[in-house]
Structures are given as structure tokens and as C-alpha cells.
Amino acid sequence: MSFRQARWDEPAIWDLAPERAAEPPPTIPGIPERMRRKSAVRWPELSELEVVRHFTRLSQMNFGIDTSPYPLGSCTMKYNPKVSELLARRPGAADLHPGQPEETAQGALEILWRLERLLGRVTGLPEVSLQAAAGAHGEWAALLMVRAYFRDRGELDQRTEVLLPDTAHGTNPASARMAGFTTRELPSKEGCVDLAALRAAVSDRTACFMLTNPNTAGLFESDILEIAETVHGVGGTLYYDGANLNAILGVTHPGRMGFDVAHLNLHKTFATPHGGGGPGAGVLAAGEKLGPYLPVPRVVKQGRKFRLDYDRPKSIGKIKSAYGNFGLDLRAYAFALTHGEEGLRHVARRAVLNSNYLGLRMGRSLPRPFRTLVKHEFLLSGSPLKARGLRTLDLAKRLLDEGVHAPTIYFPALVDEALMVELPETESKRVLDEYVAAFERSLADSPENLRAAPRSLAVGRIDEVRAAREPLLSWKDLREAAGKAETPGAVAPER
């Protein structure tokens, strides 16, 4: 292990300049005295270089796909093409206001329209909206559409329940609840939906069954057609969580599998950068049944002109102030246009090939809980570590010392000490082999070294319990904690 991350002794931004008594802000004519700010905003006055250097140093204490393999399962951390960054910064894209007349934004509308048509074909659900800001936002909106659908049918009082497997992303039950449904999680069988349990659970109370396919165990739900039949048989709707669509591009699609509505994450399958926690870009795709309920406006083509159509009487209305995250939609369009049919199919094939290869290699060191034919990701259980007094967490931290990111850990909850691994299609065999080697070195290292990891990063193992027990959530909190004097054990402010 020869990796070392930059370890700048960089002060907080407010400690870069001494605090001075600042002049109150200028008075603006007409603004009543009681609404006027009496003292300047408490924030440092810095030179541009000081600010740039500060944030450049911070950036050097951060892993990204461009610095390290980043095998977070379900997050699909693939290469973010540079050409998309270039295009999104063109004045014709960045310097456009959503409130400017449609005649002056025909190119933007055409890009949105084209991307929607393309995603309609990729998903087999032809009615598409790009309004959602992220995947979870799309989930919630889709469930509001389901609500509106049952309201129209006079069944809303009865259809109160959303069913999901226990492998579902946490956003699924949270979105269902926000949309006003109760949720019931069904135990899975060998990592997949237990068809008998589903048949027993559905009823005329079922509004929706939410499913990810391939699921979060990386397994394709081979009973999908029977699942769809079961849910539709009781008059329920079937929801596709598109977080894992990247595994099945060109092989199957939600429409063919029988789903009524789907969300996609453009920041996963379509390679838009995740930005350290957003922005994302959500997509809503629906079939005939739920299409009329999509948010307004919709992008339509009339003759050779594109416009925003608000005349959708069944629509749920707006879910975001502007239409969508156009800057990201444009990036996704460039990605899809580059790949085309054959390329998108290859995206899925190579992702699945990588995943099965990596599963085979890493599965020699830790048990794999379910069947070994996987799609874009796979699970390992870190339970054997317990015999050495270790946890999956220790292994994850030790991996960071190799200069690689750790897999998703402790999810899904049905696997003890879970690790969820996904290195998508943009990673070469050399990188996969290096990752396996790093993984094996980490496992072979001494328990002391695993517990002491990470040691090569800007900071060592972080005390997360303390963060939650004594919350310090802003500069203001740090000042107040410092003001409470140097009591033993108190967290001192930063230097």
C-alpha cells in the first residue's frame, strides 16, 4: 500500500481572515427600517485566490470516479464523459432562462423532446417527463400519479397500501408514505420476490407494488411476468425503480416486463455526474394507464415547432419550479447519442460481464449469499470477519487505504454484514484485477491494521457516534461550543 491522500492542514473558511467589525449593509430606499439588516452578514472577506486555494485543497481531500474506482452498489459510478461537461457549459445551454419565450428555446425543447422519445423506447413506456429532480423525487411523483388514477376510478379510499420487497431501496417506502400510502414489506426468498408471499399479500387494497429489477441483490427477478400478472390481477399498479436499469438495456425493459410506471436516474444509467451528492436527474416514464397523470408541462412537437403543453386535465400539476434539470438532461442526451442502440446494449452487457467476473473473484474470499449469476452488482457477506473480531466496516475502511473506494455496506439489510459491489462498464479488466488484489490484501491484513484503518487519508477513522450525540452542525454551533469554555471533553472549535 503506497497510496497517500493529500492532508492539508486547511482552516475553516471563516478562520482564513480575522473577523473585523463590518459596516452595516447599504440602505435601500423604501425598505422599512424593521426589514433592514442591521449588521453585515457574518462571513469572511477574502481574496479570490484565498477562496480558490481553500476549495482546491478541499478537493484534494476527496475521492471521485476520476481519482479512484468507486464500486458503490446501486449507485452505478461510471465514467462521466468530459464531452458532456463541455456541452452543458455552452451559452446556448447554460445561459437560458426557463421563463424565456419558447420561440427562443427551440433547441433546448428539441433536446428534451428527443431525450424523452429515446427514453420512452429504452423503457418501453412511451409517455415520458423529465421534470423530476432526482430518483426519489420521481418515485414520489409516480405514486401521486397512482393516487390520482385511483381517485379517478373511485377506488382511492380502498387502495391504501403499497407493497414492496424487503430488498427495496429505502426511498421506496419513504416515497410511498409521503404520497399518503401505508407500506408493507414482503420477505424475499433467496434474494428474490417470493411469488407465493406476494400472491398472499395482494388484495383489493393494493395500490401498487414497487420493484427494482434487477434487484438490490443484483439478481434478475425471473418471475417478473408472473409478478406483473399477480399485481394486475387484483387491479393494482406495478412500479419500476429504475436505479438498476443499466443492467438490462436492450435486453428487456419495464414496458415488456409489465410495469405501469417507472423512474430512472440519469446520474446512474446515463452517466451524468453525481456531484458528491447531487444534482441528480429523475425521469418519469409511464404507459397508457398512468401517462395522462404525468406532471405539467409536457414537451410536445407541433409541426416543426416545440412547445410546453399545459393542457393536461388529469395531470398532477407541478413537482418542481422549472421543467427539469436541463443541464443534466443535455449530458444524458450526449451520452445516449454517442452510444446509440448498439452502444447502450453493450453498456449493459459489459456491466454484467464485469460484475460476474468480479463476483467470481471476490467470492473466493467472502461468501456470496444467493445464486451467483448476477447482473450489474452482487452481494458479499462480511460475516466471517466476526470470527476475527472484525466487521464489514473495518474492511471498508481498510480498502480506502488502497486508494480505492469501498462498496456499499450494510445494505440490503437481509444479508448479514453486507457488501454490495458494482464496478460498471467503464472499468477495464486491469482495474477489476487491481480491485480484487486490494480486496485480498485488505482481508489478509492483521485485525489491528483493519481496526486502525484508514491511515492514508486526510483524517483517520471518524467518530460518528460523537457527531450524532453532540451535534455541531454549523460555524455558529462551533462558536457557541467554544464559548461554553474549555470544559474537559468539550469539542474545541477548529483551529
Binding span for another protein by CB under 8 A among 197-205, 379-387, 422-430, 442-450:
422-430
**Of 276 and 387, CB closest to another protein:** 276
Q: Residue 163 forms beta bridges with which residues?
A: 184, 209
Contact status, residue 299 vs residue 306, Cβ threshold 8 Å: yes
Q: How far is the CB of 313 from another protein (least distance, A)?
A: 7
User: What are the residues whose beta carbons fall under 8 Å from the beta carbon of 471, sequence distance 6 or more?
Assistant: 477
Amino acid at site 19 = E
d(CA 326, CA 108): 8
Choose, by CB under 8 A, the member of 58, 195, 234, 414 that binds another protein.
58
CB of 235 to another protein, least distance (A): 21
3 binds another protein (CB under 8 A): no
Member of 87, 146, 210, 299 binding another protein (CB under 8 A): 87
- Segment near another protein (CB under 8 A), from 283-291, 307-315, 381-389, 438-446? 307-315
Strands 418-421 and 378-381: antiparallel
Task: Using CB under 8 A, count the residues that bind another protein.
Answer: 211
Which listed residue (201, 283, 296, 332) binds another protein by CB under 8 A? 296
Query: Which of 4, 56, 190, 233 is in the footprint of another protein by CB under 8 A?
Result: 56
Give helix 106-123 / helix 326-362 axis angle, nearest 10°: 30
- 217 vs 230: CA distance, rounded Å: 22
Q: Which residue of 12, 200, 437, 490 would you call a contact of another protein, by CB under 8 A?
A: 12
Helix (H, G, I), strand (E, B) or coil at 248: coil
In whole angstroms, the minimum distance from the beta carbon of 364 to another protein comes to 12
Quick one: 301 or 387, whose CB is closer to another protein? 301
269 close to 126: Cβ distance less than 8 angstroms: no
From residue 13, give the alpha-carbon distance in Å to each of 18, 40, 41, 473, 480. 11, 17, 14, 15, 17
Query: Segment 111-130, which members bind another protein (CB under 8 A)?
Result: 111, 118, 121-122, 124
Q: Which stretch binds another protein (CB under 8 A): 196-204, 234-242, 357-365, 482-490?
A: 357-365
- Residue 159 as a binder of another protein (CB under 8 A): the answer is no
Decide if residue 360 touches another protein (CB under 8 A).
Answer: yes
Residue 187 binds to another protein (criterion: CB under 8 A): no
Give every strand in the sheet of 206-212, ordered side by side.
Answer: 127-129, 282-286, 261-265, 237-242, 206-212, 161-165, 182-186
Which residue's CB is nearer to another protein, number 174 or number 414? 174
The Cα–Cα gap between 209 and 262 comes to 12
Write phi, then psi, for 200 (nearest 5 degrees).
Answer: -75, -25
Cα separation, 287 vs 220, in Å, equals 22
Secondary structure class of 143 (helix, strand, coil)? helix
Which cell numbers hold the place of 282? 429523475
| Candidate segments 140-148, 200-208, 233-241, 414-422, binder of another protein by CB under 8 A | 140-148
Q: Which is nearer to another protein, 176 or 443 (CB)?
A: 176
Q: Which of 4, 19, 83, 187 binds another protein (CB under 8 A)?
A: 83
Is 442 among the residues that bind another protein (CB under 8 A)?
Answer: no
Distance, CA of 490 to chain centre:
36
Supply angle C-alpha 425, 69, 250, rounded to 5: 15
- Print the binding letters for residues 220-239 with another protein: x by CB under 8 A, - otherwise: x-x-xx--------------
475: contact with another protein by CB under 8 A: yes
Residue 437 as a binder of another protein (CB under 8 A): the answer is no
Q: Can you read off the three cell numbers belonging to residue 44?
A: 469572511
Q: Measured from the CB atom, is 183 or 383 closer to another protein?
A: 183
96 lies in the site for another protein, by CB under 8 A = yes
Residue placing its CB nearer to another protein in the complex, 87 or 208: 87
Would you list the DSSP string of 174-196? HHHHHTT-EEEEEPPBTTB--HH
Q: Confirm or reject binding of residue 134 to another protein (CB under 8 A).
A: yes
Verify binding: residue 332, another protein, rule CB under 8 A.
no
Q: Which of 81, 235, 292, 363 lies at the binding interface for another protein (CB under 8 A)? A: 81
- For another protein, which residue of 69, 242, 291, 324 counts as binding (CB under 8 A)? 324
For the chain, the maximum distance between any two Cα atoms, rounded to a whole number of angstroms, is: 74
